[in-house]
């Protein structure tokens, strides 16, 4: 055990450090994190104006009146609230492009407003024009996300390359010129070169393939998306994330960059839902809310069920962790539990820690695959209490019941392991008192 943790400290942690500090991945993670409020508001706006049940099919009663009222309300507010959905979701790639420009420029210590504007312009050149040169909005939503990522990274890389070598740098310093003007001039030529580069890229792709970058990306990414949306794909991912967590490496290292794929899947679901598809009939299962609401109930390791078990422990330490952990568990924060039990690097806890998540993964996936519960069409944010989050993101009451069932199941999975561990801890505590 000691040897294992030594290997970990020396080899695995520096690797995790490097990975989590990788500039582009970090910029992507931070960008998606910063736009979550807009995805949440945008997708919930759609939910608000889309009553999930046609009230005319219901028997008269409370539910009939409830959905009738909702339908009338939805018709009234459809225009103002619908516009929030349309812009937040269907123009999302524009602000992702700006965010990546901002965060990547920060990594390079390039200050000012220019980099995020430049990255947005780069994205618009690549995605806002069709192959025939006409303007298009088709790729401003989820389908343009990878173009936003790639275009922004290329633009900022070129700008940084030129900036670092002072190529085309016009210096007006010390000539009584205001600083803002100095900066604008300093980056004028690098900005022009960057945009020419992006323009040439756009032209090159169109001449070679006959279509634009986002159209090309859609074709290239479709096998990747099928893989991430498959049961083996998400099972393997969950296994890796949980095993890494067991080694003490935070899940965001992996899930941060994965958010790009999950967001594409989620926006495709939302678009299908907006076109009238039922939540059971939207294309993708594996999305951001699927991962955080259905797999990681109470936090990575599905520790909500564990917290309940901990409260019944005899050992003072475990009971304390249960008490400390239960409130944050409602918001899916579980570091106290991971470090307090501990689950991390605890050989007795590896099986339930990873196993509970994998069981949740297979059961929820199957339930969605066979249409027993709705798939996710809204982003409630990962801090939402899971049963409520599941309801909001699927508009299916059965999803909420599924989560409650999974919490009980997770508790049962943890139970035998915790009982043995509790006995051991309790005896240790008794022995140290004597």
Partner 1 sequence: MKILLMCYGGLSTGLMKVRLEEEAKKYGVEDIEVVATALAEAENDFGDYDVYLLGPQVRYAYDDIKAKLADRLVLTISASDFGLMRADNVWQEIVKGLDRT
341 binds partner 1 per the rule CB under 8 A: yes
By C-beta, is 6 or 75 nearer to partner 1?
6
CA distance linking residue 331 with residue 325, whole number of Å: 10
* Distant-in-sequence, close-in-space partners of 70: CB < 8 Å, separation ≥ 6: 51, 55
Segment interacting with partner 1 (CB under 8 A) among 130-138, 145-153, 219-227, 341-349: 341-349
Among 22, 68, 71, 106, binds partner 1 (CB under 8 A): 106
338 binds partner 1 per the rule CB under 8 A: yes
* Distant-in-sequence, close-in-space partners of 378: CB < 8 Å, separation ≥ 6: 40, 43, 44, 46, 47, 270, 289, 392, 393, 394, 395
Closest contact distance (angstroms) between CB of 429 and partner 1 is: 13
344 binds partner 1 per the rule CB under 8 A: yes
Tell me if 357 sits within 8 A of 332, measured CB to CB.
no
CB atoms within 10 A of CB 196: 11
Segment interacting with partner 1 (CB under 8 A) among 136-144, 175-183, 195-203, 336-344: 336-344
317 binds partner 1 per the rule CB under 8 A: yes
* Distant-in-sequence, close-in-space partners of 368: CB < 8 Å, separation ≥ 6: 280, 285, 290, 374, 375
By C-beta, is 26 or 160 nearer to partner 1?
26
By C-beta, is 342 or 405 nearer to partner 1?
342
26 binds partner 1 per the rule CB under 8 A: yes
158 binds partner 1 per the rule CB under 8 A: no
Segment interacting with partner 1 (CB under 8 A) among 200-208, 220-228, 301-309, 339-347: 339-347
13 binds partner 1 per the rule CB under 8 A: yes
Tell me if 152 sits within 8 A of 32, measured CB to CB.
no
Among 149, 206, 270, 337, binds partner 1 (CB under 8 A): 337
Tell me if 348 sits within 8 A of 417, measured CB to CB.
yes
Among 91, 184, 188, 250, binds partner 1 (CB under 8 A): 250
Tell me if 127 sits within 8 A of 212, measured CB to CB.
yes
Q: How many residues are given for the chain?
A: 434
342 binds partner 1 per the rule CB under 8 A: yes
Task: Cite the DSSP H helix spans in 165-212.
Answer: 179-186, 188-209
Instruction: Tell me the DSSP string of 352-398.
Output: HHHHHHHHHHHHHHHHHHTTSSPPP-S---TTS-HHHHHHHHH--HH
Among 34, 230, 252, 312, binds partner 1 (CB under 8 A): 252
Instruction: Tell me the DSSP string of 346-361.
Output: -GGGHHHHHHHHHHHH
* Distant-in-sequence, close-in-space partners of 188: CB < 8 Å, separation ≥ 6: 168, 170
Closest contact distance (angstroms) between CB of 287 and partner 1 is: 20
* b/e sequence 380-403, b meaning 16+ C-beta within 10 Å: bbbebbbbebbbbbbbbeebbebb
By C-beta, is 85 or 304 nearer to partner 1?
304
* Distant-in-sequence, close-in-space partners of 387: CB < 8 Å, separation ≥ 6: 400, 403, 404, 407
Among 142, 151, 328, 355, binds partner 1 (CB under 8 A): 328
Tell me the site size for partner 1, rule CB under 8 A: 25
Among 53, 324, 363, 401, binds partner 1 (CB under 8 A): 324
Among 320, 363, 388, 419, binds partner 1 (CB under 8 A): 320
Site for partner 1 in 175-214 (CB under 8 A): none
241 binds partner 1 per the rule CB under 8 A: no
Task: Cite the DSSP H helix spans in 210-230.
Answer: 213-228
By C-beta, is 248 or 289 nearer to partner 1?
248
Strand partners, 5: none
Segment interacting with partner 1 (CB under 8 A) among 167-175, 202-210, 316-324, 361-369: 316-324
Closest contact distance (angstroms) between CB of 6 and partner 1 is: 14
Closest contact distance (angstroms) between CB of 388 and partner 1 is: 19
36 binds partner 1 per the rule CB under 8 A: no
111 to 130: interface string for partner 1, x by CB under 8 A:
--------------------
339 binds partner 1 per the rule CB under 8 A: yes
Q: Is the dihedral of CA 131, 210, 148, 293 positive or negative?
A: positive
Tokens 């099972």 sit on residue? 235
Segment interacting with partner 1 (CB under 8 A) among 171-179, 340-348, 384-392, 411-419: 340-348
280 binds partner 1 per the rule CB under 8 A: no
List of residues contacting partner 1 (CB under 8 A): 13-14, 16-17, 26, 30, 106, 248, 250, 252, 317, 320-321, 324, 328, 333, 335-342, 344
């Amino acid at each position: 055990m000691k040897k294992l943790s030594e290997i970990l400290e020396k080899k695995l942690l520096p690797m995790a450090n490097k990975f989590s500090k990788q500039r582009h991945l970090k910029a992507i993670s931070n960008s998606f994190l910063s736009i979550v409020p807009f995805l949440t508001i945008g997708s919930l706006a759609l939910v608000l104006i889309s009553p999930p049940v046609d009230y005319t099919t219901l028997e008269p009663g409370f539910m009939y009146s409830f959905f009738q009222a909702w339908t009338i309300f939805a018709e009234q507010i459809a225009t103002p609230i619908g516009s929030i959905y349309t812009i937040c979701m269907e123009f999302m790639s524009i602000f992702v492009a700006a965010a990546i420009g901002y965060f990547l420029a920060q990594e390079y210590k390039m200050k000012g407003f220019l980099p995020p504007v430049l990255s947005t312009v780069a994205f618009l050149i690549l995605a806002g024009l069709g192959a025939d040169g006409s303007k298009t909005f088709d790729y401003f939503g989820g389908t343009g996300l990878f173009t936003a990522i790639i275009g922004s990274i290329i633009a900022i890389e070129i700008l940084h390359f030129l900036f670092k070598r002072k190529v085309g740098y016009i210096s007006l310093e010390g000539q009584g010129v205001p600083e803002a003007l100095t900066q604008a001039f300093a980056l004028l030529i690098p900005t022009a070169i960057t945009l020419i580069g992006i323009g040439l890229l756009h032209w090159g792709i169109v001449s070679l393939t006959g279509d634009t970058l986002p159209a090309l990306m859609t074709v290239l990414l479709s096998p990747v998306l099928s893989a991430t949306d498959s049961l083996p794909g998400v099972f393997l991912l969950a296994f890796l994330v949980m095993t890494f967590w067991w080694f003490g490496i935070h899940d965001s290292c992996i899930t941060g960059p994965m958010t790009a794929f999950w967001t594409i899947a989620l926006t495709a679901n939302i678009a299908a839902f907006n076109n009238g598809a039922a939540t059971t009939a939207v294309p993708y299962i594996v999305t951001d809310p699927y991962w955080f609401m259905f797999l990681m109930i109470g936090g990575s390791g599905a520790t909500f069920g564990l917290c309940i078990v901990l409260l019944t422990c005899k050992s003072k330490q475990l009971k304390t962790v249960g008490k400390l952990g239960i409130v944050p568990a409602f918001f899916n924060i579980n570091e106290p539990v991971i470090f307090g039990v501990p689950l991390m690097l605890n050989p007795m806890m590896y099986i339930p820690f990873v196993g509970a998540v994998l069981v949740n993964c297979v059961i929820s996936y199957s339930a969605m695959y066979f249409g027993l519960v709705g798939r996710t069409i809204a982003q409630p944010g990962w801090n939402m209490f899971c049963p409520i989050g599941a309801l909001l993101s699927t508009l299916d009451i059965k999803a909420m019941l599924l989560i409650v069932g999974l919490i009980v199941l997770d508790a049962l999975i943890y139970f035998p392991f915790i009982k043995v561990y509790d006995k051991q801890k309790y005896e240790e505590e008794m022995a140290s008192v004597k």
